[in-house]
Structure 1
Amino acid sequence: MTDPKKMIINLALFGMTQSGKSSAGNILLGSNDFHSSFAPCSVTENCSLGRSCHLHNFMRRGGQEITLQVQVLDTPGYPHSTLSKKHVKREVKEALEHHFGQDGLHFALLLQRADVPLCGQEALSPIQMIQELLGPAWKNYTAILFTHAEKIQEAGLTEEEYIQRASDTLLTLLNSIHHRHVFQYKNRNSLNEQRLPILERIMEFIKENYYQVLTLK
């Protein structure tokens, strides 16, 4: 029987190699489930699912305090330095169906480094993969997670100014996904200071979707 005082949200991470997917996944989970390291090549080769501990009294819904648990699917970077598009796509498709096929996906998070402009065909590859895997409804279940957002502060810009100066490619993408985006700052003192604002923002997106999920059967 489903516990009305508990909510599980399902998230999948997409992005180019070294965009910070595994690191972001660890922040979302509040743990070190995913191997994350700097390398001149793709590090993640297989999909893996991580589950967070319970966040008690995270939010209120229907007048009740709700405990939140986060499930995050980490995926190989794409384009990948050693794996073909066909292999990566099959790997991710099978993992999505296996882990979220019954319960559905709340959001796909497209990881984009804030210090790297979104431009060129290669940069669009993860977006194309999301479209192919999620189908026509992808725009309603996709948000951008900007990693390395501390670089924005170092440049003396606000988040709003950063978006205003973004490439046409990025602005077009933001328009298509209803401007759903969130910034990840690694220069904040504690893990919770990094984690909670991101989860709160993602919950806003989920509420906008009336808590509906994308079915992957």
Structure 2
Amino acid sequence: MTDSNKMIINLALFGLTQSGKSSAGNILLGSTDFHSSFAPGSVTKDCSLGRSSHLHGFMRRAGQEITLQVQVLDTPGCPHSRLSEDHVKQAVKEALARHFGQEGLHLALLVQRADMPLCGEVASSPVRMIQELLGQAWKNYTVILFTHAEKIEEAGFNEDEYLHEASDTLLTLLSSIQHRYIFQYKKGTSLNEQRIKILARLMEFIRENCYQVITFK
């Protein structure tokens, strides 16, 4: 909070290569700050911070309209097709301290493709990174963002059916983070509608945490 009528929320994106982190970051920001494209390997090589424009009248708090600004840290995929896991982890650690050291991180978003099952050691790499970087409090500050959620409907499932049929790895993870998740669809609604819907859900999680943050000193 910089004043009583403005709130800045800080988010960090984690996930596998080609999971849709940068694209999700652009939706959250309402911009094209992060380079996003299909590639046979990892696209994002460095951590990058994006800041949204101000969203006026997005929410109310204590009877007052609050102007919201979103800051998003995009990170390289883990595992990375060119960089070692240790290199990525150190780069993200330094970026978290540089950008959110004092202000703190509100939520870590684990970006997971809905059309790819979460299972095995490779798929668990981003989860381990979140655990190591956020420490024991990681369970209270992690949300799964399912990208490519339109694939669920194309396969004839609804969200509840999808989660019911999910891998034990995913179900265990969801239980650990108090079933905090969001589905991101690419069709049926405009990008701005997607953005507002996702941000509103994220604000629910932030309120559940009583607006507390993780700091990196």
* Structure 2 length-normalised TM: 0.98
Partner letter of residue 81 of structure 1? Answer: S
Look up the match of 1:76: 76
1:85 to partner: Cα distance = 1.0
Matched-pair contact (CA < 8 Å) for 1:147–1:185: yes
Deviations 1:68-101 (A, max 9, x none): 1000000000000000111101100000000000
Deviations 1:194-213 (A, max 9, x none): 11111011000000000111
Unaligned runs of 5+ in 2: none
State how 1:8-157 maps to structure 2 within 5 Å.
8-157=8-157
Partner letter of residue 133 of structure 1? Answer: L
> Within 2, Cα distance between the matches of 1:157 and 1:195?
23
1:189 to partner: Cα distance = 3.7
Q: Secondary structure at the match of 1:162?
A: helix
Partner letter of residue 87 of structure 2? Answer: H
1:190 to partner: Cα distance = 1.6
Matched-pair contact (CA < 8 Å) for 1:188–1:194: no
Partner letter of residue 87 of structure 1? Answer: H
1:188 to partner: Cα distance = 3.1
Partner letter of residue 48 of structure 2? Answer: S
> Within 2, Cα distance between the matches of 1:162 and 1:61?
35
1:154 to partner: Cα distance = 1.1
Look up the match of 1:190: 190
Q: Secondary structure at the match of 1:41?
A: coil
> Within 1, Cα distance between the matches of 2:210 and 2:189?
33
> Within 2, Cα distance between the matches of 1:186 and 1:193?
11
Q: Secondary structure at the match of 2:97?
A: helix
Partner letter of residue 64 of structure 1? Answer: Q
Deviations 1:16-75 (A, max 9, x none): 000000000000000000000000100000000000011110011111111110000000
> Within 1, Cα distance between the matches of 2:101 and 2:88?
18
How many residues end up aligned between the 2 structures?
Answer: 217
Partner letter of residue 43 of structure 2? Answer: V
Partner letter of residue 182 of structure 1? Answer: I
1:162 to 2:153 alignment: no
Deviations 1:108-134 (A, max 9, x none): 000000000001110000000001111
1:8 to partner: Cα distance = 0.3
> Within 1, Cα distance between the matches of 2:2 and 2:79?
39
Q: Secondary structure at the match of 2:60?
A: strand
| Percent sequence identity over aligned pairs | 76
Stretches of 4+ aligned residues off by more than 3 angstroms: none
> Within 1, Cα distance between the matches of 2:210 and 2:108?
16
Unaligned runs of 5+ in 1: none
Partner letter of residue 26 of structure 2? Answer: N
1:139 to partner: Cα distance = 0.4
Partner letter of residue 151 of structure 1? Answer: K
Q: Secondary structure at the match of 2:10?
A: strand
